[in-house]
């Protein structure tokens, strides 16, 4: 067990045993943001997370589901006052989902506008093949004074990373982002004081099984990337988490 770690983007409700997944994060002492893909999933996630010290439930409407579930934005809006954490939301311009891109932008604009109006929300954001569009919308609808954006599994360019930093964004990094030279180079360019770690489980694998609270693998990968001891990286990530969570309170 490695306590004092951060998994800022994990789909705990998509594991075969949701309750056991929550319990493992709690037992291992891993601060875990349990993102949801639809607002209908949030109440149960919130119920389980509320009984823990380390798990928080985020209110989501995944861009890949917007084509079928855009109408759920009304429920999302109804639930928003009950949580500080939002995710997974954002944009996906990949080939399978591009047909719904205009609808995705409408939903995301509403999400950002409502978060900005409420203030003090922390938003875990998907940006596949859409980093510029996401950043354009963040700049338009949610300035840093009104909330914080965490770019999950960032795949943009170095220039887009710099722009994201200027917009106050953080980045959650998983082990898959470090597996090849090009991805690792972009990740290395991200400022360490804006880095969080994530697993994106169960969509990533560890030893042939869905990743659970094995976020230490990302910590060790970042340590190798930066030539630092893993303990320094984990301490930095925890410090970043505390800054993110308390900076607007």
Instruction: Tell me the residue length of the chain.
Output: 249
- Residues 159, 192, 83, 10: what is their CA dihedral angle, to the nearest 10 degrees? 90
Residues contacting 44, CB < 8 A, separation 6+: 13, 18
Contact 63/104 with Cβ under 8 angstroms? yes
CATH code at 203?
3.20.20.140
Residues contacting 82, CB < 8 A, separation 6+: 46, 59
Position 212 scores a pLDDT of 61
Position 205 scores a pLDDT of 73
Contact 128/92 with Cβ under 8 angstroms? yes
Is the pLDDT assigned to residue 1 strictly greater than 60?
no
Is the pLDDT assigned to residue 249 strictly greater than 50?
no
The residue among 152, 148, 191, 196 whose CA lies nearest residue 168 is 148
Q: What is the 3-state secondary structure (H, E, C) of 123-143?
A: EEEEEECCHHHHHHHHHHHCC
Q: Name the percent of the chain lying above pLDDT 90.
A: 90
The binding site comprises 9, 11, 88, 126, 152, 200
Confidence of residue 203 (pLDDT cuts 50, 70, 90): confident
Q: How far apart are CA 107 and CA 63, in angstroms?
A: 8
Considering its fold, how many domains does the chain have in total? 1
Residue range 83-98: average pLDDT? 98
For 116-165, what is each residue's pLDDT tens digit? Answer: 999 999 999 999 999 999 999 999 999 999 999 999 999 999 999 999 99
Annotate 145-164 with b (16+ C-beta within 10 A) or e (fewer).
ebbbbbbbbbebeeebbebb
Domain range for 53: 5-246
Confidence of residue 221 (pLDDT cuts 50, 70, 90): very high
Is the pLDDT assigned to residue 41 strictly greater than 90?
yes
| Element spanning 236, H or E | helix 230-246
Residue range 215-241: average pLDDT? 97
Contact 81/110 with Cβ under 8 angstroms? no
> 55 - beta bridge partners?
32
The binding site for a divalent metal cation comprises 9, 11, 88, 126, 152, 200
């Amino acid at each position: 067990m490695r306590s004092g770690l951060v998994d800022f983007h994990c789909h705990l409700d998509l594991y075969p045993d949701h309750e056991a997944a929550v319990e493992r994060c709690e037992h291992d002492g891993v601060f875990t943001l349990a993102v949801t893909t639809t607002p209908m999933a949030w109440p149960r996630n919130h119920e389980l997370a509320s009984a823990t010290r380390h798990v928080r439930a985020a209110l989501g409407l995944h861009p890949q589901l917007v084509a079928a579930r855009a109408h759920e934005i009304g429920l999302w809006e109804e639930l928003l006052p009950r949580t500080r954490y939002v995710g997974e939301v954002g944009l996906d311009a990949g080939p399978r989902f591009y047909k719904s891109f205009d609808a995705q932008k409408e939903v995301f604009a509403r999400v950002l506008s409502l978060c900005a109006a409420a203030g003090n929300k922390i938003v875990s954001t998907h940006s596949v093949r859409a980093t510029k569009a996401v950043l354009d919308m963040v700049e338009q609808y949610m300035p840093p004074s009104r909330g914080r954006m965490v770019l999950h599994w960032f795949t943009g360019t170095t220039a887009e990373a710099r722009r994201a930093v200027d917009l106050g964004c953080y980045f959650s990094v998983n082990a898959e982002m470090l597996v090849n030279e090009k991805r690792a180079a972009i990740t290395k360019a991200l400022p360490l004081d804006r880095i969080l770690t994530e697993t994106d489980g169960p969509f990533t694998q560890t030893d042939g099984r869905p990743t659970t609270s094995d976020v230490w693998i990302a910590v060790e990968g970042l340590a190798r990337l930066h030539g630092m001891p893993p303990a320094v990286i984990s301490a930095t990530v925890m410090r970043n988490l505390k800054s993110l969570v308390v900076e607007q309170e």
